[in-house]
Amino acid sequence: MAQPLPAARRGKRMTPARWGLYAFIFITALYFLLPLYVMVVTSLKPMAEIRQGNLLALPAAPSIDAWVKAWTSACTGLTCQGIKIGFLNSLRILVPSVVISILVGSLTGYALSLWRVRGANILFGAMMVVAFIPYQVFIYPLVRLFSFAGLGQSLLTIVIIHTIFGFPTMTLLFRNYFASLPVELFKAARVDGAGFYQIYAQIMMPMATPMIVVAVILQTTGIWNDFILGLVFAGRDNLPMTVQLNNIVNSTQGERAYNVDMAATLLTALLPLAVYFGSGRWFVRGIAAGAVKG
């Protein structure tokens, strides 16, 4: 976005209109930052201070006790082992789901874009429609299918489920990318006698690095933030962090430990926030690529 701009739009002088503009930006920025700020300060206060009710005040004596408790000993239902269990579960779900969904999606996108397959457009169009359909339509039959297949609720089941529901977006992403590459590249490889999988692995995937980065960002935040699929398909021993977080906060008996709740909430948001702030413009690229779907 570095193209030269006409002087009229550069407007460096601080006119009243520009003061108004900056005031608007400042106030809206406060609105967006307020929840994050409140989460952080609440998580650093002891309960006695929270009960006094100064939501916005900085902690008098910041302490990480609530964080330690949230991580190691907060109760989710009957067990009190903290949210670290959920964190590890989410990691175990995340890594294979991201890898497999990207492999399958890129291979499908590659086959649909570069190889002339009869019915490719129909298959692709159908996948795009399906991407909009609410999960509730599929969930019950899938639960039955997996229990019939003997998988039940398990780590493998939830990985397959994430691969299935990431399929349309991943396919779209890679299909459009491969279709934008110069076709001569593909033809030259064919003339040299390279086969289908050889071209995919040795030529196309190395060239698709930017799309792989985008796909990793999209899938990582999407799968980490998932709640409903993990709840239904992961099983009691593999519940992801979002589900455990909700259990910690919403099924507490007696007085709520708001500081622990907020620490647990922040811990759950940590990975997507790190991905977001670490990836910068790539995150926006991912949204834009995913938005093509919508």
Q: Are 243 and 85 in contact (CB under 8 A)?
A: no
Contacts (Cβ under 8 Å, ≥6 apart) of 222: 166
Residue 108 to residue 124: CA distance in whole angstroms? 10
| Stretch in the footprint of another protein (CB under 8 A) among 66-74, 91-99, 189-197, 205-213 | 189-197
Q: Does position 111 bind another protein by CB under 8 A?
A: yes
Give 88's Cβ-side CA count (13 Å radius): 9
Q: Measure the CA angle with vertex 132, ends 126 and 138; round to 5°.
A: 85
Q: What is the closest distance, in whole angstroms, from the C-beta atom of residue 155 to another protein in the complex?
A: 19
Give the one residue of 19, 55, 80, 147 binding another protein; rule: CB under 8 A: 55
Residue 215 to residue 98: CA distance in whole angstroms? 8
Q: Does position 249 bind another protein by CB under 8 A?
A: yes
Closer Cβ to another protein, 98 or 275, answer by number: 275
Closer Cβ to another protein, 155 or 268, answer by number: 268
CA 275 to chain centre: 9
Q: Does position 142 bind another protein by CB under 8 A?
A: yes
Q: Does position 149 bind another protein by CB under 8 A?
A: no
Give the one residue of 89, 97, 171, 238 binding another protein; rule: CB under 8 A: 171
Closer Cβ to another protein, 155 or 264, answer by number: 264
Alpha-carbon distances of 248 from 43, 221, 253, 271, rounded to whole Å: 14, 21, 10, 19
With helix as H, strand as E and coil as C, how does 103-162 read?
Answer: HHHHHHHHHHHHCCCCCHHHHHHHHHHHCCCCCHHHHHHHHHHHHHCCCCCCHHHHHHHH
Closer Cβ to another protein, 68 or 131, answer by number: 131
| Stretch in the footprint of another protein (CB under 8 A) among 10-18, 59-67, 68-76, 202-210 | 10-18
Closer Cβ to another protein, 1 or 61, answer by number: 1
- Tell me the site size for another protein, rule CB under 8 A: 99
- Residues of this chain, 215-244, that bind another protein according to CB under 8 A: 221, 224-228, 232, 242
DSSP string, 166-202: HHHHHHHHHHHHHHHS-HHHHHHHHHTT--HHHHIII
| Stretch in the footprint of another protein (CB under 8 A) among 59-67, 121-129, 151-159, 201-209 | 121-129
Q: Does position 81 bind another protein by CB under 8 A?
A: no
Q: What is the closest distance, in whole angstroms, from the C-beta atom of residue 75 to another protein in the complex?
A: 16
Helix (H) or strand (E) holding 82: none
Give the one residue of 72, 196, 202, 207 binding another protein; rule: CB under 8 A: 196
Name the one residue in this structure whose structure tokens are 């006698």: 193
Give the x-and-dash track for 25-54 against another protein (CB under 8 A). x--xx-xxxxxx-xx--x-------xx-xx
Q: Does position 79 bind another protein by CB under 8 A?
A: no
